[in-house]
Each structure stands twice: as C-alpha cells, then as structure tokens.
Amino acid sequence: MKNSPVTIKDIARSLNISISTVSRALRGMPEIHIDTRNAVMRLAEELDYQPNQLAKNLAKSRTRTIGVILPNLSYYYFSAMLNSIEESALQAGYSVLVCQTNESYLREITNIQNLMRSQVEGFIISLSRDTDKYEHVERLARKNIPLVLFDRYADGIDASKVIVDNQAAACKATEHLIENGCQRIGFLAGPPQLLLSNQRVMGYREALAKHGLPINDQYVVHCDYTQENTIMQTLTLMSHPQPPDGVVMISDRVAYPAMYAMSQKGLRIPDDVAVVSFNNEPVSAFFSPALSSISQPIQEMGTETVRLLLKQLDATEDSPASRETRIMDTQLIIRASSLRSAVR
C-alpha cells in the first residue's frame, strides 16, 4: 500500500467489510454502525487515505480539460510534444490548458494552483530546470489526481511516466565518438540538479569506462541552457590544456551556441572536435556542419502520455489505474559534425 495510493478497496480488504460499507462510512452515513465508522476512519488515517477530491468535484459536471505544464514552448522538443499531446487529447474529446514555467520552480507551483482552480481533470507535467523539491507534484499523486510526467521527472514521485533511457542513449552517443577516433571526450551537461542531465552524464561515463578511456571530471561542465552561459561553459571546456577532441551535448539548443563558440575559438568541427547532441531538432540537418543527434519519438511519446492519463481518467476509485512507466526507444542520427574519420 505504501508504494501506491490507498483506495477504499484496500480499507475494505483490511477490515473484511464491503467496499460500499467503507464508502458510506467515510461519508458519515447514519446507517453504518458507529463502531464500524470509527474503525474505517482510524484505518483511513493510518494509511493516509486521500480521496480523489477533484473527481468528486467533477462528478456532476466534468470539464473534459487536461492541464499541461511545460518548461518553455520556445524549446523545439516541448512545442513538438505539445502538438502531439493536444492532437491525441482532441481525438479523445478533451481540450488542453497549457502553462509554461520558464524553468521556474515557483512558477511551476503557481501553474498547478491555477490549473486546479480551472478544474482540469488531470495533469501532464515536465519539471522545470530549477525544480529540486517535489511536494507540489507529490500532493497531486497522493490525492489520486490523474498525473503523467514526461521527459523531466524525479525518482521519488509516484506517478506514471513517459521517458527515454537517457543513460543508454548517452552511452550510444559517446561510443559513436569513440568509434570515430575521439580519445578525450567531454560532456556539456545541463544543471546539476536535473535528473535527465545526470542520467546522460552516467551514460557518458559508462561508455568511457567500457572502452578503457580516462574519466576526467574537468571534461564535464554544466550550463543553465541560456546561450550566454552555454558559450561561457564551452570556452571554459575548450580552454583546457588538453581540450576534448569530442563533446557530447545535453541538447541541440545547447549545441548551437556551443558550436558557435568553438568556431569563434578557431576550432574546426569535426576535424578538431567532433560533436553529438540530443533531440534531433529539424534545423540540425541544415546546420553547418550538420549536427549528429539522438532522436526521440516525440509523436509517439505525446500519444502515449495522453493514453496513460486517459486510463486514470477512466478509472474509478474502486478500480484505480496502476502507475506505469513507458520507456521509449531512441535513435542516433549520424551527420557530419561527428564524422572525424570521414575528413581524415
């Protein structure tokens, strides 16, 4: 019971009484004996039973609206995910209310509060860059409010998730650089508190260890996703006495200013430093040189996110939907930025 929200079915099973008796006892119905009511209330408190208040509020008048909270719609990944989410939701007869956090933890909290007031029936959330405490999201899960996290999530939140295997994808990207002759490989990571970034750094380190290459902590630098900070961190990385001859980037939108900084420093890509990144944004194919990148199945991820939310929306308190984690496949799209062997 501790690993998933407690339901009236759990209480009924523990007390060996019917679900309907538990339901009536929780509502204080007079036909239920006082001793039974007290027993139900005591156990409900012990087990931290949280009735789905949102479902009760909407029982008579459903809004058929889903709340979506994203870091920033100027990021290609999130705008593409929203397109897929909205299309899938519309096909199921739901509309979507969208909020951006602009990478702010406090704004994320405010977004949830505002969407609750708008009586959305469920939430789809990707955590902000600055979010390092999760009580505001965990509260949704405890109250059995339908919730699906995607892309950016936290391990401690008991919710359905749609993600990719970031560690395996980063390992694959790093091995690609090794196969193309890179011996000193760096990683331009995201903020240190971001789980997704840390998983990718783990994959990078895994590939180096697997191929017997040294792991140099000075070759891992963190940026905050802004262009200015990315350029500064890239120049720091490439000013090392023995600079990397290959770099894995946390995302394409980080890779663009990073590659600009490299070119301003007089470095040739991929001759002097090979580059591979994540997200496979459309412009990556037209960048010069074209950017090698890990592609995620965004359309399918959006569809799956809505499917998992609909399962929860269609569930009942007597028969709740289980928490599910869907790990989607990725693909390395190889282009000129990482093909050092092709230019030697």
In order of start, what are the domains of the chain with their CATH numbers?
8-59 (1.10.260.40), 65-163+297-328 (3.40.50.2300), 166-296+332-338 (3.40.50.2300)
Number of Cβ within a 10 Å radius of residue 114:
14
Q: Which is higher by pLDDT, 57 or 80?
A: 80
pLDDT at 343: 44
Q: What pLDDT digit, counting tens, does each position of 282-330 carry?
A: 999 999 999 999 999 999 999 999 999 999 998 876 677 889 999 999 9
**275 has a pLDDT exceeding 90:** yes
pLDDT at 150: 98
Angle at which helix 227-238 crosses helix 252-264, to 10 degrees, equals: 50
Residue with tokens 């690993």: 3
Strand partners, 221: 188
pLDDT (mean) for 119-132: 96
Average pLDDT, the chain: 92
**91 has a pLDDT exceeding 80:** yes
Q: Which two tokens stand for residue 72?
A: 């920033």
In 3D, which of 229, 183, 239 has the Cα closest to residue 208?
183
Beta-strand pair 147-150/122-125: parallel
Q: What pLDDT digit, counting tens, does each position of 128-147 carry?
A: 999 999 999 999 998 889 99
Angle at which helix 135-142 crosses helix 105-117, to 10 degrees, equals: 30
pLDDT at 265: 96
Q: What's the pLDDT band for 344 if we cut at 50, 70, 90? A: very low
Q: Which of 191-200, 222-231, 310-319 has the lowest mean pLDDT?
A: 310-319
Using CA atoms, how far apart are residues 335 and 285, in angstroms rounded to an integer?
Answer: 8
pLDDT (mean) for 231-246: 97
Using CA atoms, how far apart are residues 239 and 221, in angstroms rounded to an integer?
Answer: 12
Q: Which two tokens stand for residue 102?
A: 């602009």
Using CA atoms, how far apart are residues 144 and 139, in angstroms rounded to an integer?
Answer: 9
